[in-house]
Amino acid sequence: MENEKQDKENDFAHFSRQEPEFEPDDLDLDNFSQNDEDPGLSFGKKIGLFIFEIIKVVLISLAIILPVRMFLIQPFYVEGASMEPNFYENEYLIIDEISYRFNEPQRGEVIIFKNPRQRGSYFIKRVIGLPGEEVSLKEGRVYIDGQILAEEYISHFSTEDHPSVALADDQYFILGDNRINSFDSRQLGPIAKSNIIGRVWVRGWPFNRLGTFNLPQYP
């Protein structure tokens, strides 16, 4: 009985002392690396992915911005003093290019149009005469079909006269708000609708003059 008990204790002791066998390489942490690639190659892949993401963002942005820029709205900087005191030089405006594809220009709207005498040149003026109307100026005041046009947005009227002009079905008579210093339909003649780019929608700069534009009310 004593011998049997001793044998069992020896067996337990043998079992409890049994340890797993390790090789020196098993303790090398490099064996647990999840990426066996060369560090230089891995860095190159990261740079490539970064450049690819930038290109993707740029292409997506262009796909969104270009159609808007070309067909819906575009920026415009005021040059000169022909629209003072309502618009000053270097003011930044956003032009609505889509409205006139569905609607006709209205009297009092401020528009951007191509100079019919000089390609690549653009003007900002106000629509005064509409198609089919007869427009004239007497002592600087505008007459539409013989009736004087009340213009509260004008600070200084000129004193000149302009002979009566009958507008065709696609023509507009445009004037600058600074009547004393403006190159407009008094010199250019009526403007065809095909030359009109769009209407002034928003003033984006300077911030203290930020805002949209409403049609003036004519009695």
As a whole number of angstroms, the distance between CA 100 and CA 111 comes to 11
Type of residue at 24: P
Phi-psi category of 132—alpha, beta or left, where left has phi over 0 and alpha has psi -120 to 50? left
As a whole number of angstroms, the distance between CA 140 and CA 180 comes to 9
Q: CA of 101: how far to CAs of 127, 132, 191, 193, in Å?
A: 17, 20, 17, 11
Whether 125 is catalytic is: yes
Whether 45 is catalytic is: no
Instruction: Kindly give, in sequence order, each residue whose CB lies less than 8 Å from that of residue 154, ignoring residues fewer than 6 positions away.
Output: 177, 179
Residue in 82, 136, 182, 185 annotated catalytic: 82
Residue in 5, 33, 125, 138 annotated catalytic: 125
Tell me the catalytic residues: 82, 125
